[in-house]
Amino acid sequence: MSRVAIFPGSFDPMTMAHLDVARRAASLFDRLIVGVLHNPKKSPLFPIERRVELIRASVADLGEHVAVEAFDGLTVEFARRQGAGFLVRGLRAISDFEAELQMAHTNRRLERSVDTVFLMTALEYGFVSSTLAKEVAQFGGDVSAMVPEPVARALAERFRESR
Ligand code: PNS
């Protein structure tokens, strides 16, 4: 039986912590779909198409069994449509745990056949978040250790435009 997993998130934008989780999940599952949430109620820095594009460029070397797709609505519905039995989430620190536990229980209540698998983000990326990367880039700081190369370029471009 082929094991399909969804790695869901906002990815506004993808960070090295996300990429680390995607890379390790790619070696655990037969197929990994990075699911990028399109939430019309939020105003992200990067529109959904750009977020998908940047993730595709960042995961290009992970293999053909890794795909990137936008979705809206419930993550478990997306998982069902994709034939996925697993959700993958990264834990950077204990502070992530509470919200993740709540989400995992909610998703399991919504769809019993979908289980959440947690990967501990590599220690060197434990401090990284999309929010901080955006803040550092906004003020012209070096984000090369925080985000994949295509994202670093996109951030620099995006904030050059608004200066
Ligand atoms: O990158 P994020 O913002 O931490 O990702 C959160 C995400 C997208 C995984 C979560 O908000 C989500 O699954 N949203 C879709 C709506 C949903 O399914 N809600 C119920 C489960 S908590």
Which strand ranges, in their side-by-side order, compose the sheet holding 86-91?
66-71, 31-37, 4-9, 86-91, 115-120
Which residues of the chain fall below pLDDT 50? none
For 27-40, write each residue's pLDDT tens digit: 999 999 999 999 98
Closest ligand 1 atom, residue 35 Cα: 8
18 carries an active-site annotation: yes
pTM above 0.85, yes or no: yes
Cα 115 to chain centroid distance, Å, stands at 17
Angle between helices 149-161 and 130-138 (to 10 degrees): 50
pLDDT at 163: 67
Going along the chain from its start, the domains and CATH numbers come out as: 4-123 (3.40.50.620)
The residue whose CA has the least distance to atom 8 of ligand 1 is 9
DSSP 8-class letter at 92 = -
The residue whose CA has the least distance to atom 2 of ligand 1 is 9
